[in-house]
Amino acid sequence: MADDGFISLDGVEKVFEVRRRAGLLRRERREVRAVDGISFRVARGEMVGYIGPNGAGKSTTIKMLTGILTPSGGRLRVAGIDPSRERTRLAHRIGVVFGQRTTLWWDLPLRDSYRLMHRMYRIPDRRYRENLERCVELLDLGELLEVPVRQLSLGQRMRGDIAAALLHDPEVLYLDEPTIGLDVISKAKVRQFLKELNAERGTTVLLTTHDLTDIEQLCSRVMVIDHGRLMYDGSLAGLHEVGESERMLVVDLESELPPIRLDSADGGDQPALRAVKVEGPRQWLAFPAAASAAPLVARIAADYPLVDLSVREPDIEAVIARMYESTP
């Protein structure tokens, strides 16, 4: 079967059966559809963001992609391999970083964990040395190699974990919240590294996160999942249109006035903008992101005593939050 995607999912489902006590001996069975018919393709070398609220099915998808969960239905392939059937073979070609779990050996120096990876993935000696050197340099691990993992800070440990996932040259890297709990500097370091990895080695990266800055800085494509369904798949910019996002015009007037009203320019019923908030002489006016601000500003300036104004771009987080809310 011809397949253009490096990672391909066709109507993949995962249904969990939850048993709940109902009365003394009776048990009720309930189905939970964690992933409910998801299809997408990821090409080799792409860097894709995979976002959604807690419990949306992100981690379940990642677990199916690594083969530690078997899909209840649908077809799933990574590099032409069915993950749940050939988990071990696939493991040599993928790298996984679970932000909230560690693969490192807790009581031992970082270097020992890397030695373990060396043997576990049967990495040729030269390759191993080169990759380790490179990771140490780019992730700034030089002084940490001899430090027991339990003594590392969260940011240091995360960098250590990312290096551990890359020593065997994986073609795909799954990152499950790689920047969770990190400070601004550590986040920047991790992002910079991922960007270079993708650019230099062409590693395919699938990234789940709650931090949208990760997505904005790293991914040209984003997928939004909620209630186990794919809500959106496309560019970050396109998300604004789908999310019916609005821009905000903040105006300062000479004096306190009732909320500004402007009728639609083409004479329709919809007003051109609506006042969201009034605070003394300052008013917040929302208008569709796609509409041009210039004519609106001109009309306000003509009709009202305008002192100052600014336009605020839509907040991607607000867009996504609205998307989550609109689903049943």
Partner 1 sequence: MRLYAVVAAGGFRRYATYRTATAAGVFTNTVFGFIMAYTYIALWDVRPQLGGYDTSQALTYVWLGQALLMTSALMGGGFESELVERIRTGDIAVDLYRPADLQLWWLAADLGRAAFHLLGRGVAPMCLGALVFDLALPGSFWTWPAFLLSVFLGVVVSFAIRYLVAMSAFWLLDGAGAMQMAMLAGLFFSGMLLPLNLFPGLLGEVARALPWSSLLQVPVDVFLGKHTGWGLVEAYVFQAGWALALLGVGRLLQTVATRRVVVQGG
Sign of the dihedral defined by the CA atoms of residues 140, 146, 147, 148, in that order: positive
Segment contacting partner 1 by CB under 8 A, of 67-75, 135-143, 238-246, 296-304: 67-75
Shortest distance, position 137 Cβ to partner 1, whole Å: 24
Shortest distance, position 99 Cβ to partner 1, whole Å: 12
Task: Specify the residue, 115 or 274, whose C-beta has the smaller distance to partner 1.
Answer: 115
Query: Do residues 140 and 189 make contact, with C-beta atoms less than 8 angstroms apart?
Result: yes
Segment contacting partner 1 by CB under 8 A, of 101-109, 128-136, 240-248, 312-320: 101-109
Shortest distance, position 91 Cβ to partner 1, whole Å: 4
As a whole number of angstroms, the distance between CA 222 and CA 265 comes to 35
Query: Do residues 274 and 296 make contact, with C-beta atoms less than 8 angstroms apart?
Result: no
Shortest distance, position 14 Cβ to partner 1, whole Å: 8
As a whole number of angstroms, the distance between CA 202 and CA 191 comes to 15
Give me 137's structure tokens. Answer: 């340099």
| Ranges within 7-36 binding partner 1 (CB under 8 A) | 14, 16-17, 34
As a whole number of angstroms, the distance between CA 312 and CA 145 comes to 46
The one-letter amino acid at 210:
H
Q: How many helices (H) and strands (E) does the chain have?
A: 10, 13
Quick one: which of 60, 61, 131, 208 contacts partner 1 (CB under 8 A)? 60
Q: Interface with partner 1 by CB under 8 A: which residues?
A: 14, 16-17, 34, 60, 63, 66-70, 84, 87-88, 91-92, 96, 98, 101-103, 105, 107-108, 112, 115-116, 118-121, 148
